[in-house]
């Protein structure tokens, strides 16, 4: 046999294309007869039709979504957008930490989902992005390569983010591409301050509590410290004692035991004990509560406790507390409305207060030992027993 025979002019070597690329072409071919906006088959149906593995199909579908050919809508299905070479832009909803991090509050993944739903109701396409740093590492930027790739490819029209910290690199990149963004620092300028601290200090006034302690978490990176600044100003205005050693703004809820340890230190080191405790985070209070029980503190006789939380995280309450609960859905809608205004180049009028309600756990035990009859909280949406 002659192995030196010349190859035919029209000879083309066999190319082994990855299976997911072949699957993408099969799906494209299926969609050519569809109209833009039409819902396509479910994943089980496509698996049956195409005869590929779920891993291969999901990668193919993911690539088609990145190209703007299809769009997956949570709770609704997958839709064909049109086989156009023009990329469809979307708002990036960024969670700056790894969503699988241990002890990440369920509030953040919930907010990402609710914001995307709220954007969808406004007719704005969106896509989630997740950082690759575990919770607890204080990042100085955004650690999400997909996000930066899509910015440079012109796929992103705006950004809403959580657990992201301002760093000149990503800020200048977004501004270079005229991409509006809402991050934790920006949120404080878009939305007015919560009524939580004024409500808590009003509660202290009405029940004669003059020595306030507080535990919460504030980022040491951005240096804004809104909780500390507002609480200090309110305490001074109302002539309420707030010893510096009674205020700890470095307590986070994702490190088990931290709230227990820090509040024990506050209570044991104080010769004159505080008579009110303000907790800025529901996950932090889950730990603080163990210290209260261990120390034998009577609540509310010795210590009136108020906690800010959300309607996502469920606390196992074992002492009577006053809860100030934020509504995740209304917060998400406010973020989406602010982003739409920025995309439209229109002014945005922030709501006076993102919806909340007040709940009292064991109301009778909370107020019966206290002098006077409690006035209702300022304009609560709901007043109920847990």
243 — alpha (psi -120 to 50), left (phi > 0) or beta? beta
Give the residue, 187 or 370, on which the prediction is more confident: 187
CA distances 98 to 4, 184, 307, Å, are 57, 17, 27
- At 341 the pLDDT is 94
- At 5 the pLDDT is 47
Residue 236 has pLDDT above 90, yes or no: yes
- At 189 the pLDDT is 66
- At 306 the pLDDT is 95
Q: How far apart are CA 323 and CA 305, in angstroms?
A: 9
User: pLDDT band at residue 3, thresholds of 50, 70 and 90?
Assistant: very low
Residue 386 has pLDDT above 70, yes or no: no
Contact 347, 322 (CB under 8 A): no
Q: How far apart are CA 76 and CA 126, in angstroms?
A: 14
- Angle 92-180-356 from CA coordinates, rounded to 5°: 75
Residue 66, H or E segment: helix 54-66
User: Looking at residues 276-289, what average pLDDT do you find?
Assistant: 94
Residue 26's SS3 state is helix
Give the residue, 49 or 355, on which the prediction is more confident: 49
Q: For the ranges 205-209, 234-238, 364-368, which has the lowest average pLDDT? A: 364-368
User: Looking at residues 170-177, what average pLDDT do you find?
Assistant: 91
Q: How far apart are CA 353 and CA 324, in angstroms?
A: 13
pLDDT above 70 covers a percentage of the chain that reads 84
Q: For the ranges 196-210, 221-235, 240-254, which has the lowest average pLDDT? A: 221-235
- At 140 the pLDDT is 65
- At 16 the pLDDT is 62
User: Looking at residues 314-326, what average pLDDT do you find?
Assistant: 89
Q: How far apart are CA 227 and CA 220, in angstroms?
A: 13
- At 192 the pLDDT is 66
Phi/psi of residue 277, each to 5°? -125, 125
Residue 88 has pLDDT above 50, yes or no: yes
- At 367 the pLDDT is 59
- At 11 the pLDDT is 44
User: Looking at residues 319-347, what average pLDDT do you find?
Assistant: 91
- At 243 the pLDDT is 87
Q: How far apart are CA 19 and CA 158, in angstroms?
A: 33
Q: pLDDT tens across 174-198, in order?
A: 999 999 999 887 776 667 667 899 9
Closest CA to 19 of 49, 54, 66: 54
User: pLDDT band at residue 340, thresholds of 50, 70 and 90?
Assistant: very high
Residue 368 has pLDDT above 60, yes or no: no
User: Looking at residues 199-219, what average pLDDT do you find?
Assistant: 91
Q: For the ranges 110-114, 269-273, 290-294, which has the lowest average pLDDT? A: 269-273
User: Looking at residues 198-221, what average pLDDT do you find?
Assistant: 90
- At 194 the pLDDT is 73
User: pLDDT band at residue 365, thresholds of 50, 70 and 90?
Assistant: low
- At 1 the pLDDT is 42
Give the residue, 190 or 29, on which the prediction is more confident: 29
Distance of CA 113 to the CA centre of its chain: 9
Output the average pLDDT for the chain. Answer: 83
Q: For the ranges 76-80, 112-116, 301-305, 350-354, which has the lowest average pLDDT? A: 350-354
DSSP state of 371: S
User: Looking at residues 206-229, what average pLDDT do you find?
Assistant: 86
């Amino acid at each position: 046999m002659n192995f030196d025979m010349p190859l035919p002019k029209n000879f083309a070597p066999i190319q082994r294309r990855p299976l997911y690329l072949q699957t993408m072409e099969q799906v494209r071919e299926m969609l050519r007869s569809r109209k833009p906006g039409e819902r396509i088959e479910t994943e089980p149906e496509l698996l049956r039709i195409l005869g590929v593995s779920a891993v291969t199909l999901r990668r193919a579908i993911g690539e088609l979504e990145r190209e703007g050919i299809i769009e997956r809508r949570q709770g609704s299905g997958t839709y064909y957008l049109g086989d156009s070479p023009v990329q469809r832009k979307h708002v990036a909803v960024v969670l700056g930490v790894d969503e699988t991090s241990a002890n990440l509050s369920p509030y953040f993944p919930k907010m990402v989902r609710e914001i995307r739903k709220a954007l969808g109701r406004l007719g704005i396409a969106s896509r989630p992005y997740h950082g690759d740093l575990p919770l607890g590492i204080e990042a100085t930027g955004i650690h999400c390569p997909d996000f930066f790739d899509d910015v440079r490819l012109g796929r992103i029209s705006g950004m809403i983010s959580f657990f992201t910290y301002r760093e000149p690199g990503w800020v200048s990149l977004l501004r270079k591409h005229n991409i509006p963004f809402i991050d934790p620092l920006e949120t404080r300028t878009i939305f007015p301050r919560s009524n939580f601290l004024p409500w808590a200090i009003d509660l202290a006034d009405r029940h004669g509590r003059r020595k306030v302690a507080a535990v919460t978490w504030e980022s040491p990176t951005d240096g804004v410290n809104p909780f500390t600044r507002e609480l200090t100003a309110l305490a001074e205005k109302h002539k309420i004692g707030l010893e510096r050693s009674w205020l700890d703004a470095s307590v986070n809820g994702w490190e088990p035991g931290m709230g227990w340890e820090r509040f024990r230190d506050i209570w044991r080191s104080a010769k004159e004990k505080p008579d009110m405790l303000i907790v800025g985070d529901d996950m932090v209070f889950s730990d603080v509560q163990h210290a209260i029980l261990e120390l034998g503190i009577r609540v509310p006789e010795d210590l009136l406790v108020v906690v800010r939380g959300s309607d996502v995280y469920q606390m196992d309450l074992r002492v009577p507390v006053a809860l100030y609960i934020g509504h995740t859905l209304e917060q998400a809608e406010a973020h989406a409305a602010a982003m739409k205004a920025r995309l439209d180049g229109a002014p945005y009028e922030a709501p006076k207060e993102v919806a909340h309600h007040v709940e009292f756990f064991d109301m009778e035990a909370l107020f019966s030992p206290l002098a006077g009859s409690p006035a209702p909280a300022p304009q609560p949406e709901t007043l109920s027993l847990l």
